Structure 1
Amino acid sequence: MRVFLLFLLAFLCSEFSAQSVSGTISSIDGQSIPFASIYIKELTTGTTSNAQGIYSLRLDKGEYHIYFQALGFARKEIKIVVSNEDIEMDITLQEQDYRLKEVKVYSGKEDPAYAIMRKSISLAPYFQQQVKRYNADVYLKGGFDMHKIPLIMRKQLKEEGIEQGQNYVSESVNKIKFTLPNQYEHIQVSKRSSIPNDSEDQVMGFLNYSFYDVDNEDLISPLSRKSFSFYKFQYIGFFKQGDYYVNKIKVIPKRKNQKLFSGYIYIVDQLWNIHSVNLSNTQFFGTIKVKQVQEQVKERVWLPVSHLFDVDVKLMGFKLKANYSGSVDYHDIELNDAVIVPESVLIAYGGMEEEKSDSIPQLSKNEKKIEALLQKDDLSNRDMLKLTRLVNKEKKEEKEESLEIEDWGNNYKVVKDTVKRDSVQWDVIRPIPLSDNEINSFNKSDSINMSLRSAEGDTTKAFNNHKNRSLFSKVISGNHSFSKDSALQISYPGLINLKAFDFNSVAGFSYMQTMEARWKLDTIHHLTVQPYLKYAFAQEQLTWKLENKYYFAPLQRGVLSLSAGQWFSDFNDESGTHPLLNAMSSLFFKENYLKLYQGNYIKGAFDIDIVNGLQFSAGLKHARYIELENSTDFALAYPSRSYEPNNVVSNVDSTYFNSRSSNSFSASLHYTPKNYYKIVHGRKVMQYSDFPTVTLSYRGAFDFGNTEMSNYNLMELRIRQELDWNFMYAFKYDLGIGKFFNVGEMHFSEFKHFNTSEIPVSFKQWHNGFVLLNDYEYSSNDWFIQGHLNYKSPYLLLKNLPFLQNKLWNENLYIHFLTNEKILNYNELGYGISDILLVGSVGAFVSFENTSFKMWGVRVAIAMQGLF
């Protein structure tokens, strides 16, 4: 105990020995400046004031140079000496005066901003790669004000701990380890939060986002090499800060799009690196504002020292305002020796005086080209792209190209609450003071936690309504549970969920229950077992199936699966009508689209990557296909109407619906050259390729002399690809050809079925399916050729109208064609708007057969299939 007390005393003394430097940052008219940036030169530490303009620093004895700045205000440098007393020091910032420098005006009267941006864009690869590794201590604080909750959601969210009119806040101390090219290891040292079920994973992702990451397709940086296709730039002026001049440039998106920014970017003259940004990004749910200030934390190295993210959310009756601010302290910064510092940049830093010119190493051929381009004041777009390629290529060590994409999330790990701190200790270490609302939020949360712990008599339990739900609630609405060592995870969707209830004309009403058990055999190998039970009330029959998967070779995507059951299935089981939509159509319109059979089966399958990009799949199946009839005529409307028979399809002989047995084998090869991938939690996840995917597949059944069993052979060749350019425009194609050989008897489920959407509303995408083609009618057991083309653009037709230009939708053109023994030269043409609230699509389609008009229709799609 004595040793412990001495240790505790030493720890507290170390934290409290520092002196406080605090005050308020305001403008000359007395208005406080929220989230102003503060940088301590000697500590390479950045922080911000809070929402009320109050700042607080803890500094040991010594001399410090502290820089106070805010976007729109001139930077102020204060030199202080910290001794034994706290220092109260209010700071007044003057508005920044911007001057226009003398510039040359070339033909076309181009704005001077473009010449600056070309230099900065060209050197973005250098700035992205100049630091090999660093360590940083990060303080992160944020939360949200819940202004409005729709009435229908208030009770549910209150049970989760979120109420209208309340403020919620979280703060954490973190350690970041960065390693080139993009590896981040995040360790959360300590955390305090009043936010129920709080997680900062996504926030740390925003914090690690770099505007030099010009290949990011989710957010297009103004420094992207293709930025001139998306942005206009306007030169505002410059100001002097220390030894450097800083250019202020307005960023104007040419079109409104959720991938683009608007606002201001500040570029250091002659160095061409980012000084700071004040940008906003508009999403369907609201606006995200990003403020970031960079400082010279080491010779020739500028890194972000303070971050601010503001999010205004207005969606479906919800109104909330969230903000996160971050303070960063860098240390152990190591430069990347594999990149060459451009000579002109060294001169701008004052690192190459004329008297030292004899020691300058001889420039390489590429370096000479780089310097020649950097000396040009009128750098053209072509020169910029050439300079970007040269900077990206110029390395001392050339590395063999790898198809693995480095991902910061791979090394994201959190060590929670390794250091427990009370409110007094947080007051000492917190570099960004709490606002009044945040203090009240923590006080309220602490009171609730103390009341709960006192009532339960258990000091280890925290306020978490979700984890403390009753057994009854878990059974009704579902639950995810883990074993003590987390090796076993049980997922149960509950007695009441959208997948539990179903209706169709064959089974009538049915009720299903399922669960999933997942065993982690080690960190990367696991086994899943998922049983299903379903009772069909009209058929008075209980059906079942059991699906098992073993992931045995995660780096080769190796999966062994075994399944068996007695189950009602759709003849077009892979791409037919969704059961939920079919149930609604049957009950309310007496239109049953599904055609069903009973399959009693056992099946084994095997998948593995032979080499990267070449996947082999094979499967064996024994099945008994049993014919089913409609068993009910029930519906909530149209009592005089009858359902269509289950085993009647135009162009299909009724004998194909008869019960029969089948022994089948399938195999396929999928090849994608240069297929890039990520390693996520020890498993390979394929990402993209610049080349098409070619699939050669075989499927066949053998009767072994028994005429009551299926007998056929099918060979199929397919090629598909998605081509993206300029980050927004995309072209997809999917082409296939197939032929059946030695066809004897077979079941209708073994035909080649196509991706059709006869129902007006679907959960499908339209880029690889037939939107107006009748389900089942043109399924083939002879030969077929099909193709699908899709062009996507943010602006194509309707979005050029003034009142639609600000929408974040995309426009699409579709072309689908099919020809086989039943229909010759069938074509569909369509136009659609997609990404409505990210999930909705509306389209108009017309079809032709042999150039003759067939039909037209309007369709709606909701991309929510994974939820049902």
Structure 2
Amino acid sequence: MKFVLGILFFIFPSTFVFSQKIFGTVYNEVGDLLPYSSITIKNSTMGASANENAKFSFKLSPGKYTLICQRIGYTATEKTVELKANENVEFSFILKLQKLILDEVVVKSGGEDPAYEIIRNAIKKRKFYQNDVKGFSCNLYEKDMVKLLHLPDRIMGFKVPKEDRQQMQLDSSGQGIIYLSESVAKVDVQRPNKFKMNVTSSRVSGSGSFGFTFPAFISFYSNNINVFSGQINPRGFVSPIADGALNFYRYKFMGSFVEDGRLINTIRVWPRRSYEPLFYGVINIIEDSWRIHSLDLTLTKTAQLELLDTLQIVQQHVPVGNNVWRVKNQLLHFRFKQFAVAASGNFVNVYSNYEINPAFDKKYFDKVIIKYDTAVNKRSRQYWDSIRPVPLEYEELKDYKVKDSVYDASKDSLYRKFSFDSLNRKQPKFSLFSGLLNGYSRTHYGHKKYYEWGIEPVLPKIEYNFAEGIVLNFSARYSRYLKRRKNKITLLPYLRYGFSNGHFNAWASVVIDKNRNAISQMQTTKRSITISGGKRVSEFYKQSAIDPLVNSVSSLLWGTSYMKTYENWFANIHYKKTLESGLQFYVNTLYENRIPLNNSTHFTLRKKDSIHITPNYPDEIMAGQFQPHQAFVVSAMLSFKPGQKYIQFPYNKIPVSSKYPTFTIAYAKGINHIFGSDVHFDKWLFSINDDMNFKLGGLMKYKVSLGWFINSKAVNVQDYQHFNGNIGVLAGEYVNSFQVAGYYSQSTVSPLYSLAHIEHHFNGMLTNKIPLFKRLNWNLTAGGNGLLTRQNKYGEMFVGLENILKIFRVDCVWAFRETYKPELVMRIGMGGLLGGKMQRSQNKPVLEGGF
């Protein structure tokens, strides 16, 4: 406790002694409010920001102060006030419109606008100001608010539940605050690339979570501006004073004004071409020093802005040391409307107490870039009222009051018996038809017994194949938490019946998950052990991405069954551990008694003489069905990403970034004579994969692998090295599969083989130069896939468009084989803003039998 108080006194030395308050409102000359104006104490870095209603408020110790009020487009105004002990002072600032001087600049007819010379000078000084100090520290206050302006009754045809509206505390018109948070942090920076943020306090309305603190800094001295971690445009945005900015922007000198003895030039900026990642607005540059004084810049859809309709960035820079300026206030205001849902938001940052070139300990900057204090979300309301530099709006006060009351009540009653009884009574009732179609799940709440159970949908999982005929699958789950919910044990039974061959298969898995801390808001499974056994039907390649529905349709219409299966009695033990560093490894032991599964029906929906029924084994690499045999296989995998950076929460930490790729090494050994095992092989696989963001140049994704069989004395087809293939029109998993190759045509036992997947997402580059077409925001993508073995060479090249309706992607793929002419096909998949996140991972986890 003393340590926490010591930290608070160090970061906020006057928090507990300031009882005097200065507050007021900022107006213009005609009485209109001027929201988000900056108020600074002269000759210091302390200050505040007005809120959306132009109200400001902050606490100071007794004394005499000169306050400076600034807003872009208005003349800075000073007021001197004397603050006595236990006295609050209220007054208003009235700002006059900034009168720009044009007399000193002569623009000749047909000549260059003087703004260009000013911008050239600013560009020359850009790198200097980007690195003008070795390091600095400052305090950061951030307030984030997102408000719904309209919520329709239905979204994409789905009705919005009444419970969701009530939970968000929306009014009858569908309006209300849906997210409100405040954070206080100490930020430390050391050139060239060291950063650390210690979040000492954070508050989220109606929640006990930690909130978020971003962006800490947006520097327009950088060539490329990255906002919200690239979520709104992975290419970033070009700064108006970037090295090549004159090729992107047009400028106009609007005039100049004098402030505190400095001549400040006002420059209007706008893009030379639409649909480039560029700003428009105003930037103020100080004469002679050519540094940024302030700016008000906006991004729109014509700047390739995704998700949002508009994003406005407002910054006010102030002197914080000897010829050193830094951002004092920053406002991000955004609006968006998608699927008839309209919302707006304000992210307000106030920076104070700058310290230039502090002496950091050599080991201070470690791999943790953001650290949350253990008491980060436990501060009192009185604490927040004492340190808040931006007054809360009435609507925000109400939001805190209502949602915090609901949260406190629900938290207090969470472990009461009547609360458990109420939750248990509200569980959905079982319906036979609904259960077969959609499945069913139920949770039992209690002090000592907390468990979940359910059944998976049955009807959607009906399959058809020639080996079993119509297949009925049934699976269920039962999970129970142990040791105060730190551990979880899950039972997963599976049943499968084939109506044609009459085979019934049953197997089960028991999964034990170990969680480090279940009280934490972010549970992370640290390790798990899975024990499985029984009789089942497996594909020859257990990681195959073949969809059972697609296979059923293909079998019924064309007599082609892509899935190749066999039966096996098996026992499997799988252990997996994930470290907080991001390192993952697993060890797996598998025993199988493998039994061939031949076709038992030839039924199709078309005439038999017009189609060929495929056998139930990979006929691309097998002349006939395999012989029954046993296999005992031990495998292991290690995956790590060096140089990982982390966010440290009170109970755990999570990896967030690294400039290095992910390295994976895997090994599998088939051991002869154990439990009658007939296999004898050793194989390795080493792979590297990464995403490389070239900003304006686009995003490149790649995965390169090298593998080898160092021993292949007895290898059955199930243990070959298989690769993800694809024959259908729906694309396979990008950067992990071939789009044209057969599912088993490239399988190998080659002593040495290599494969590569690479694709480049141009993210609007090139396509934004095409008239009319650029309005669609469809983006170019291109790449290739290749495989080289001792016996075979195979390659693919593709080019396509993504972000179609924000979801879809279409590629033209050329396949190159040694003995065939190039083949051209089309593939349709998920890609773009939403589709890239929705893309179904078709690569099943490596759990058994190697890789």
Q: 1:801 offset after TM fit, Å?
A: 1.9
Percent of aligned positions with the same letter in both sequences? Answer: 18
**Against the structure 1 CA distance between its residues 717 and 80, is the aligned structure 2 distance closer, same or farther, given a 3 Å change threshold?**
closer
d(CA) in 2 for partners of 1:622, 1:122: 65
Structure 1 position 241 matched with structure 2 position 259? yes
1:382-531 aligned within 5 A: 405-408=367-370, 410-411=371-372, 415-420=376-381, 431-435=389-393, 438=396, 449=406, 471-472=426-427, 495=455, 503=463, 505=465, 508-514=471-477, 530-531=490-491
Q: 1:116 offset after TM fit, Å?
A: 0.4
The answer as to whether partners of 2:119 and 2:241 remain within 8 angstroms in 1 is no
The answer as to whether partners of 1:256 and 1:806 remain within 8 angstroms in 2 is no
The answer as to whether partners of 2:576 and 2:584 remain within 8 angstroms in 1 is no
In the alignment, which residue of structure 1 is the partner of 2:293? Answer: 275
d(CA) in 1 for partners of 2:238, 2:414: 51
Specify the code of the residue in structure 1 equivalent to 2:336. Answer: V
**Against the structure 1 CA distance between its residues 458 and 603, is the aligned structure 2 distance closer, same or farther, given a 3 Å change threshold?**
closer
* Matched residue SS, 1:676: coil
In the superposition, the TM-score normalised over structure 2's length comes to 0.72
Greater alpha carbon shift after TM alignment, 298-307 vs 221-230: 221-230
Q: Deviations over 1:130-166 (max 9, x none)?
A: 31x3445x36263313313351242252253354532
Greater alpha carbon shift after TM alignment, 163-172 vs 221-230: 221-230
1:335 alignment partner, one of 346, 349, 356: 356
Specify the code of the residue in structure 2 equivalent to 1:160. Answer: Q
1:565 alignment partner, one of 530, 533, 536: 533
Structure 1 position 311 matched with structure 2 position 334? yes
d(CA) in 2 for partners of 1:712, 1:160: 58
d(CA) in 2 for partners of 1:602, 1:581: 29
Q: Deviations over 1:54-84 (max 9, x none)?
A: 4455666543222222222222222234465
Q: Deviations over 1:701-743 (max 9, x none)?
A: 2333999722334455656665553564344554545554664
* Matched residue SS, 2:132: helix
Structure 1 position 126 matched with structure 2 position 132? yes
d(CA) in 2 for partners of 1:337, 1:453: 45
d(CA) in 1 for partners of 2:117, 2:592: 72
1:39-438 aligned within 5 A: 39-41=40-42, 44-56=45-57, 62-82=63-83, 86-89=89-92, 91-97=94-100, 99=102, 111-127=117-133, 129-131=134-136, 133-135=137-139, 138=141, 140=143, 142-151=145-154, 152-155=158-161, 157-163=164-170, 164-168=173-177, 174-180=183-189, 181-188=194-201, 193=205, 201-202=211-212, 204-207=213-216, 218-219=229-230, 220=236, 228=244, 231-232=248-249, 234=251, 236=253, 238-249=256-267, 262-271=280-289, 273-281=291-299, 282-328=305-351, 330-331=352-353, 333-337=354-358, 405-408=367-370, 410-411=371-372, 415-420=376-381, 431-435=389-393, 438=396
d(CA) in 1 for partners of 2:282, 2:600: 67
In the alignment, which residue of structure 2 is the partner of 1:623? Answer: 592
**Against the structure 1 CA distance between its residues 56 and 782, is the aligned structure 2 distance closer, same or farther, given a 3 Å change threshold?**
closer
**Against the structure 1 CA distance between its residues 263 and 574, is the aligned structure 2 distance closer, same or farther, given a 3 Å change threshold?**
farther
d(CA) in 2 for partners of 1:515, 1:412: 37
2:645 alignment partner, one of 657, 678, 686: 678
Specify the code of the residue in structure 1 equivalent to 2:643. Answer: Y
Specify the code of the residue in structure 2 equivalent to 1:130. Answer: G
5+ unaligned residues in a row in structure 2: which ranges?
A: 1-14, 231-235, 300-304, 431-438, 517-524, 843-851
The answer as to whether partners of 1:625 and 1:747 remain within 8 angstroms in 2 is no
In the superposition, the TM-score normalised over structure 1's length comes to 0.71
d(CA) in 2 for partners of 1:243, 1:165: 50
The answer as to whether partners of 2:739 and 2:827 remain within 8 angstroms in 1 is no
The answer as to whether partners of 1:207 and 1:307 remain within 8 angstroms in 2 is no
1:854 alignment partner, one of 806, 823, 832: 823
d(CA) in 2 for partners of 1:805, 1:729: 16
* Matched residue SS, 1:778: coil
Structure 1 position 546 matched with structure 2 position 559? no
The answer as to whether partners of 2:293 and 2:316 remain within 8 angstroms in 1 is yes
Q: Deviations over 1:271-325 (max 9, x none)?
A: 5554333234422343332223233345555444333222212122321122233
d(CA) in 2 for partners of 1:696, 1:208: 38
d(CA) in 2 for partners of 1:821, 1:25: 78
**Against the structure 1 CA distance between its residues 480 and 705, is the aligned structure 2 distance closer, same or farther, given a 3 Å change threshold?**
closer
d(CA) in 1 for partners of 2:460, 2:395: 44
Greater alpha carbon shift after TM alignment, 32-41 vs 561-570: 561-570
Q: 1:651 offset after TM fit, Å?
A: 1.6
Specify the code of the residue in structure 1 equivalent to 2:27. Answer: I
d(CA) in 1 for partners of 2:806, 2:375: 31
d(CA) in 2 for partners of 1:238, 1:190: 42
Q: 1:764 offset after TM fit, Å?
A: 1.9
* Matched residue SS, 1:201: coil
d(CA) in 1 for partners of 2:558, 2:175: 45
In the alignment, which residue of structure 2 is the partner of 1:6? Answer: none
d(CA) in 1 for partners of 2:283, 2:558: 57
d(CA) in 2 for partners of 1:55, 1:717: 59
**Against the structure 1 CA distance between its residues 308 and 569, is the aligned structure 2 distance closer, same or farther, given a 3 Å change threshold?**
farther
Q: Deviations over 1:553-608 (max 9, x none)?
A: xxxx9978554334544333335235677679889999764333445132456789
The answer as to whether partners of 1:549 and 1:560 remain within 8 angstroms in 2 is yes
1:750-829 aligned within 5 A: 750-762=719-731, 764-765=733-734, 767-782=735-750, 784-795=753-764, 798-806=767-775, 809-818=778-787, 824-829=792-797
Specify the code of the residue in structure 2 equivalent to 1:712. Answer: F
In the alignment, which residue of structure 2 is the partner of 1:662? Answer: 631
1:582-593 aligned within 5 A: 593=562
Q: Deviations over 1:822-862 (max 9, x none)?
A: 8x543322112235577643212132334613342232235
**Against the structure 1 CA distance between its residues 534 and 235, is the aligned structure 2 distance closer, same or farther, given a 3 Å change threshold?**
farther
1:18-57 aligned within 5 A: 18=20, 21-26=23-28, 28-41=29-42, 44-56=45-57
The answer as to whether partners of 2:118 and 2:290 remain within 8 angstroms in 1 is no
* Matched residue SS, 2:161: helix
Q: 1:866 offset after TM fit, Å?
A: 6.4
Q: Deviations over 1:609-660 (max 9, x none)?
A: 9xx999987654333334446789999x989999966714332326555442
The answer as to whether partners of 2:594 and 2:628 remain within 8 angstroms in 1 is yes
d(CA) in 2 for partners of 1:201, 1:125: 31
* Matched residue SS, 1:565: strand
**Against the structure 1 CA distance between its residues 159 and 631, is the aligned structure 2 distance closer, same or farther, given a 3 Å change threshold?**
farther
RMSD of aligned residue pairs (Cα, Å): 5.5
**Against the structure 1 CA distance between its residues 244 and 459, is the aligned structure 2 distance closer, same or farther, given a 3 Å change threshold?**
farther
Specify the code of the residue in structure 2 equivalent to 1:664. Answer: V
d(CA) in 2 for partners of 1:268, 1:443: 45
* Matched residue SS, 1:508: strand
